[in-house]
Amino acid sequence: MLIVMKPRCTPDEVEQVTERVRSLGLTPHPIPGAQRVAIGITGNKGPLEPELFTTLPGVADALRVSQPFKLVSREVKEEDTVIDVGGVKVGGDHVVVMAGPCSVESREQILEAAHAVRAAGATLLRGGAYKPRTSPYEFQGLREEGLKLLALAREQTGLKVVTEVKDTETLPLVAEYADVLQVGARNMQNFSLLEKLGRTDKPVLLKRGLSATLKELLMAAEYIVASGNHRVMLCERGIRTFETMTRNTVDINAVPVLKTLSHLPVVLDPSHGVGIRKHVPAIARAGVAAGADALVIEVHPCPEKALSDGQQSLTCGEFEGLMRQVEQIARAVGKPLSTLAGTARPQAKRR
């Protein structure tokens, strides 16, 4: 249920509502950033009677939320959630591009990638230090050393860092370095990790599971929000289908459908989505045209030498070319590319 307060309600009246919710053994969740003061209620087994709340002073309405995902649904918050990552706003009126290598491999590699994506206009840097690999014999990431290198790249470029957190043990360490904590597709339903992320103050980039439905993705986001962290981005990264010509099948439907069902920002990952370098630009363009709030793109200074996902990583030059295309599409759909606060986007070099 969602309690909507009257426009000029007092803090005391809000407190009375949350007290009533608690006295019923339920959990109140103040909805942040909403134009109206609203309190979501979770924990009820069946429908609640609106009169339990509408009789309290300051209450305008008590509405039933029909979706199983409550706090992340548009029903509880009409306007888009905008997540501020050190001045870069994801979910607002600009398209954000996050870019960088799949894995942090060395000081030279991450710095070269970071400077290149920064120069081409990306506003967040991605790079994995803890890598969830299908095979235990594949490169698992540089771990803490990788986090330190990401911090160095941030210092040099001003780009905030998106990096994956693989488990609850390493969460405190990763959270010390990351500006955005990525939950990988393989961990989308790691509920203890989701709950712990709900208790951190860092934004979360939640990737859709390999075979997860949109409802399952939204329920996973609900775990994080219900645990107290409202700053979640939903990421479509391709799902498993019968198709074998591509690594995954990008569910482009996910972009408008998630935007309709939820107020959270929607991110598209064309790199894992298609898995083939030469097709990444087309899918990136499609994502922006479909209304994605952000893209996350793998870029490597030398993809053929990459320790992970080289086959889908763009070279720095290819990324620069893609940014020029994406910029036009973003403008055409009325959501221009975001730029780093206080700096004009450097003109991409012609080649």
Binding site for ligand PEP (CB under 6 A): 102, 128, 184-186, 207, 237, 272
List of residues 6+ apart from 161 with CB closer than 8 A: 124, 125, 126, 127, 150, 151, 153, 154, 177, 178, 179, 180
The alpha helices in the chain, defined as continuous H runs, are 11-23, 51-54, 107-120, 144-157, 171-177, 191-198, 214-226, 254-261, 270-274, 280-290, 316-332
- Among the listed residues 155, 144, 204, 199, the one whose alpha carbon sits nearest the alpha carbon of residue 179: 204
Query: Measured from the CB atom, is 40 or 127 closer to ligand PEP?
Result: 127
Shortest distance (Å) from residue 115 CB to Mn ion: 20
Please identify which residue in 21, 56, 98, 102 interacts with Mn ion, judged by CB under 5 A: 102
Query: Measured from the CB atom, is 37 or 183 closer to ligand PEP?
Result: 183
Separation CA 67–CA 111 (nearest Å) = 44
Vertex 46 angle, CA 40 and 51, to 5°: 60
SS3 210: coil
Query: Measured from the CB atom, is 179 or 309 closer to Mn ion?
Result: 309
Binding partner of residue 207 among ligand PEP, Mn ion, none, CB under 5 to 8 Å per kind? Answer: ligand PEP
Binding partner of residue 237 among ligand PEP, Mn ion, none, CB under 5 to 8 Å per kind? Answer: ligand PEP
State how far Cα 297 lies from the chain centre.
13
Binding partner of residue 184 among Mn ion, ligand PEP, none, CB under 5 to 8 Å per kind? Answer: ligand PEP
Rounded alpha-carbon distances, angstroms, from residue 321 to 118, 306, 315, 335: 13, 21, 10, 19
Shortest distance (Å) from residue 103 CB to ligand PEP: 7
List of residues 6+ apart from 350 with CB closer than 8 A: none
List of residues 6+ apart from 304 with CB closer than 8 A: 310
Query: Measured from the CB atom, is 81 or 163 closer to ligand PEP?
Result: 163
Query: Measured from the CB atom, is 74 or 186 closer to ligand PEP?
Result: 186
- Site for Mn ion contains 164 (CB under 5 A): no
Q: Residue type for 209, please? A: G
Shortest distance (Å) from residue 6 CB to Mn ion: 49
Shortest distance (Å) from residue 195 CB to ligand PEP: 19
Shortest distance (Å) from residue 164 CB to ligand PEP: 6
Shortest distance (Å) from residue 313 CB to Mn ion: 8
Separation CA 24–CA 21 (nearest Å) = 5
Separation CA 95–CA 264 (nearest Å) = 14
Query: Measured from the CB atom, is 134 or 260 closer to ligand PEP?
Result: 134
Question: Residue with the closest Cβ to ligand PEP?
Answer: 184
And the tokens for 132? 């969830």
Query: Measured from the CB atom, is 185 or 314 closer to ligand PEP?
Result: 185
Shortest distance (Å) from residue 105 CB to ligand PEP: 13
Q: How many chain residues bind Mn ion (CB under 5 A)?
A: 2
Only one of the segments 47-55, 102-110, 142-150, 249-257 lies at the binding site for Mn ion (rule: CB under 5 A); that segment is 102-110
Please report, as residue ranges, which positions from 219 to 278 form the binding site for Mn ion (by CB under 5 A).
none
Please identify which residue in 80, 222, 293, 309 interacts with Mn ion, judged by CB under 5 A: 309
Binding partner of residue 185 among Mn ion, ligand PEP, none, CB under 5 to 8 Å per kind? Answer: ligand PEP
Beta bridge partners of 63: 2
Shortest distance (Å) from residue 141 CB to ligand PEP: 10
